[in-house]
Chains A and B, each alone.
Chain A
Amino acid sequence: MRGKHLLFIVLFASSAAHATLGETDDSVSKDATALKATGLKQRAASVKASTTSALAESTSCYKATEMNDNGVTVIQYTDTNTNKVFAISYHGIRRANLQQLMGTYFSEYQSAADTSTQSKSARTKLRHPHTVKSSQVTVRAAGRPRAFKGLVTLDSAIPKCVTSVEDLQ
């Protein structure tokens, strides 16, 4: 039944928009409801630093909310000044439901992904990390089956305290 529910959302997303990226904080809980996610919780102010460089300790300008979408951990980052979601990261057994999480920005991303040059390489299937940049959002995807990960940013909305968005996770 859950699968049917999600399929319903997929097919009628435009009319059931609980868009989150670029929307206010309360859209996060709507996402959790729509995705039947569990474990919705506020994360500690410090965000785990990646390997590249430690995230600047100035995390006071945003808060991170985590949920588990049936095997995918989704973290939404909200600018505490504007109260808007400016980034979403995920990791888990599959890619996150970006249609739900990106809301109105999903179609912009889709168009960009379709014309992306990522499949140009003549001799290789690119099962590698890739980035799709459209006019307002940047979508990064990486990993492999059972260990996918990704990051979506609304680039104009990233607060100044975030010095390296790729460290959001």
Chain B
Amino acid sequence: MKRIFNRRIAALFLVFCFISVGYSNCSNSGFSSLANVGSATSAAAGVGGTSTNPYLNQNALTLTVGCFADGYNQPCVNVTICLPGTTTCQTITNVLVDTGSSGLRVFSKSLNATMLAGLQNSTSTGECYAYLDGSYDWGGIVNADVHLGGETAPSVPMQVINQSFGDGGTACVAALKAQGMSPTFDDSSYNGIMGVSFLSQDCGSDCVSYSDNQVYFKCTGTSCASGAVALASQVVNPVALMPFDNNGVVLQLPSVSGGVASYIQGTMYLGVGTQANNTPVSSVATLSAISDTGNSCYTEFTTSWGGSTMCGFIDSGSTALTFPNISYAVDSYGNYNPTATVTASATNIGANGVQSTVSFSFASVDNISANDLVLGYWGVNSSAFSSTKFFDWGLPFFLSRTVYVGLEGKTSTLDSGSYGGLYWAY
């Protein structure tokens, strides 16, 4: 179905190319931005009948690492949310940008009284969004207009993380305990988290099909039970609902001299190849993710490291490079602790067969100043806590790089449709 849709809008794309001015990718890459154009075309009537992307250079957000105390290697942006269709808004600072999850979540404690009162949960839908470590976000689903840079996604389903919502998380915690987790309410230092993973919704079709999905809950007063939620009402990567520049994101961070800094700033761009500032250079390697749900590396690629092949993934929400040990010294926390900086390399292999060898360095982080929140050489030994080998390219991977992340069901200059939007490029 997706491919049929893409073909249908391909014709529109060609028209768009001919009449648009300043659109950077029409001439050199064929059907390069179908999804964006699909939206652009439909949105054109609302912006005065012109097909030109009206958001040139408004798709950029300042991306900061070192935004708050103890926020080691946590990249943040500011996000402005508004009551739908109004100018009643609040700018949320220090929102973690996470390429490993989907959707916007803001802590209720970070919202002002006007927003708290105005963001109504009309359907009494709650969500139990759990991470692997047992931390979980419980709270109601609301709709808000989400402003990123100069662009706005209207009425985006998002979560207000609030431990007292509905039954106070009782049903959520019970479900997580049955799953073998030790649930702890996520009480992070940041004000919110914005998941910009290539998976669009945070649950997908299974939460439409199964009322007992144990992710979404329907609450009546202080009683909550698992319930089905339509795709359009699920928490979603807000970029997917932007009228333009909606086919992924680009994260760009500078290099860090000596591997350590207190604070750095880069840029997060909306869209991939939709305007000049987010257009990939020709040398990028595009690695598609494995889309077979039964594969042990689903939504990941494979990485060859130390003579083994394992699942690998790129995750801005992971604070370190995490990989199995070969023969390096490790401290009592599981951090690599070599006497001198080690430089090594591993090879990522996309589902599409594209291979990319990445050089990386790691060094001791034991004597780092508490003021240094950017740790470019931070490596963590996964063998200390996992018998399953994996390679997590966390935040240090993003330094001195431009990383492109696709979006489910959207095409771009890097993916004409065969990857389904599930790719990373760098």
Contact = CB atoms under 8 A, between A and B. Distances in A.
A7 B175 CA distance: 7
A122 B308 contact: no
A121 B334 contact: yes
B28 interface: no
A121 B227 contact: no
B231 interface: no
Given A7-B174, A50-B297, A125-B319, A95 B133 contact: no
A149 B212 contact: no
A70 B213 contact: yes
B273 interface: no
A109 to B, nearest CB: 6
B19 to A, nearest CB: 39
Interface in B341-366: 365
Contacts of B378: 123
Given A3-B227, A71-B213, A149-B298, A128 B199 contact: no
A114 B177 CA distance: 12
A129 B309 contact: no
Interface string B374-400: 010010101011111110100000000
B296 A149 contact: yes
Interface centre among B180, B197, B204, B390 (most CB of A within 10 A): B180
B320 A124 contact: yes
Contact of A93 (B131, B177, B213): B213
B281 interface: no
Interface string B221-244: 000111100000000000000000
DSSP class of A's interface residues: helix, strand, loop or mixed?
A: mixed
B294 interface: yes
A127 B215 contact: no
B182 A3 contact: no
A94 B297 contact: no
Interface stretch (B1-9, B246-254, B310-318): B310-318
A124 B209 CA distance: 35
B300 to A, nearest CB: 8
Contacts of B180: 95, 98-99, 102, 106, 109-110, 113, 139, 141
Interface in A20-42: 36
Contacts of A106: 180
A146 B195 CA distance: 12
Contacts of A92: 206, 293
Contact of B132 (A98, A123, A128): A128
Interface string B275-312: 00000000000000000011111110010000011110
Contacts of A146: 102, 199, 201-204, 299
A114 B182 contact: yes
Contacts of B226: 2-3, 6
B296 A50 contact: yes
Contact of A128 (B174, B202, B385): B385
Contacts of A123: 72, 319-320, 333, 335, 365, 375, 378
Interface of A: 1-4, 6-7, 9-11, 13, 36, 48, 50-52, 70-71, 73, 91-100, 102, 106, 109-110, 113-114, 116-131, 133, 138-149, 151, 166, 169
21 contacts: A6-B226, A7-B174, A70-B210, A92-B293, A99-B178, A110-B180, A119-B133, A120-B332, A122-B333, A123-B378, A126-B132, A128-B382, A128-B385, A128-B386, A131-B386, A133-B387, A138-B387, A142-B311, A143-B299, A146-B199, A166-B388
3 tightest Cβ-Cβ pairs between the two chains A and B: A3-B225, A71-B206, A3-B226
Given A11-B174, A125-B131, 7 more contacts: A70-B210, A70-B212, A116-B385, A121-B334, A123-B320, A124-B318, A125-B133
